[in-house]
Amino acid sequence: MIEPLPGHAGSGALNASLAIETHGLVKRFGRRPAVDGIDLAVPRGSVFGFLGPNGSGKTTTIRVLLGLASANSGQVRILGREMPQALALVLPDVGALVEGPGFYPFLSGTANLMRLDAADRHASASSRRQRVHDALERVGLSHAAGKKVRAYSLGMKQRLGLANAMLRPRELLVLDEPTNGLDPQGTREVRGLVRSLAAGGTTVFVSSHLLAEVEQMCTHVGVMSAGRLVAQGPLEELRSAGQAHVLVRTPDVDRAARVLARLGLVPGEAHGSSPFQSTGTVLGTGLDGVEPEAIVAALVAEGVRVRGFSVENASLEERFVSLTGEGFDVVG
Q: Which amino acid belongs to residue 244?
A: A
Per-residue confidence (pLDDT) for residue 181, from 0 to 100: 75
Give the other-Cβ count within 10 Å of 262's Cβ. Answer: 10
In terms of domains, do 33 and 97 share one?
Answer: yes
* Residue 232 β-bridge partners: 222
User: 134: domain CATH number?
Assistant: 3.40.50.300
Per-residue confidence (pLDDT) for residue 177, from 0 to 100: 83
In terms of domains, do 195 and 271 share one?
Answer: no
Give the other-Cβ count within 10 Å of 61's Cβ. Answer: 28
8 Å CB contact between 224 and 58? yes
- The last residue of one of the domains, among 239, 257, 279, is 239
Please name the residues in contact with 18: beta carbons below 8 A apart, sequence gap of 6 or more: 41, 42, 43, 44, 77, 80
pTM for the complete prediction? Answer: 0.74
**Do the domain assignments include residue 279?**
yes
8 Å CB contact between 254 and 305? no
In terms of domains, do 232 and 253 share one?
Answer: no
- The last residue of one of the domains, among 220, 239, 258, is 239
Per-residue confidence (pLDDT) for residue 243, from 0 to 100: 66
Secondary structure, 3-state, the chain: CCCCCCCCCCCCCCCCCEEEEEEEEEEEECCEEEEEEECCEEECCCEEEEECCCCCCHHHHHHHHCCCCCCCEEEEEECCEEECCCHHHHHHHEEEECCCCCCCCCCEHHHHHHHHHHCCCCCCCCCHHHHHHHHHHHCCCHHHCCCEHHHCCHHHHHHHHHHHHCCCCCCEEEEECCCCCCCHHHHHHHHHHHHHHHHCCCEEEEECCCHHHHHHHCCEEEEEECCEEEEEEEHHHHHHCCCCEEEEECCCHHHHHHHHHHCCCEEECECCECCCCCCCEEEEECCCCCCHHHHHHHHHHCCCCCCEEEEECCCHHHHHHHHHCCCCCCCC
Give CA–CA dist 254/257, Å, rounded: 5
Tens-digit pLDDT string for the chain (332 aa): 343 333 334 445 567 789 999 999 999 998 889 999 999 999 999 999 998 887 889 999 999 999 999 999 999 999 999 998 999 899 999 999 887 678 999 999 999 999 999 988 888 899 999 999 999 998 889 999 999 999 998 888 888 998 999 898 899 999 988 887 778 888 888 888 888 888 888 999 999 877 778 888 899 999 888 899 988 999 888 776 666 778 888 888 888 888 888 888 777 655 444 444 444 777 666 666 678 888 889 889 999 898 888 877 666 666 666 666 655 443 33
In terms of domains, do 185 and 87 share one?
Answer: yes
**Do the domain assignments include residue 93?**
yes
Give CA–CA dist 259/108, Å, rounded: 65
For residue 162, what are the domain limits? Answer: 18-239
In terms of domains, do 207 and 61 share one?
Answer: yes
Give CA–CA dist 261/281, Å, rounded: 15
Give CA–CA dist 265/209, Å, rounded: 31
CA 95 → CA 124, 165, 282, distances in Å?
Answer: 17, 4, 47
Give CA–CA dist 108/194, Å, rounded: 25
In terms of domains, do 51 and 107 share one?
Answer: yes
In terms of domains, do 222 and 77 share one?
Answer: yes
At 223, phi and psi to the nearest 5? Answer: -120, 125
Per-residue confidence (pLDDT) for residue 10, from 0 to 100: 44
**Do the domain assignments include residue 167?**
yes
Per-residue confidence (pLDDT) for residue 256, from 0 to 100: 87
- CA triple 282-285-288, angle to 5 deg: 135
At 302, phi and psi to the nearest 5? Answer: -90, 5
**How buried is residue 265: exposed, middle or buried, by Cβ count under 10 Å (0-12/13-18/19+)?**
buried
Give CA–CA dist 55/157, Å, rounded: 25
**Do the domain assignments include residue 331?**
no
Q: How many Cα atoms sit within 13 Å of 5 on the Cβ side?
A: 18
In terms of domains, do 36 and 182 share one?
Answer: yes
**Do the domain assignments include residue 322?**
no
Domain count, the chain: 2
In terms of domains, do 109 and 92 share one?
Answer: yes
**Do the domain assignments include residue 323?**
no
**Do the domain assignments include residue 212?**
yes
Per-residue confidence (pLDDT) for residue 329, from 0 to 100: 43
In terms of domains, do 135 and 277 share one?
Answer: no
In terms of domains, do 105 and 146 share one?
Answer: yes
User: 306: domain CATH number?
Assistant: 3.30.70.100
- The last residue of one of the domains, among 239, 260, 275, is 239
**Do the domain assignments include residue 327?**
no
In terms of domains, do 259 and 123 share one?
Answer: no
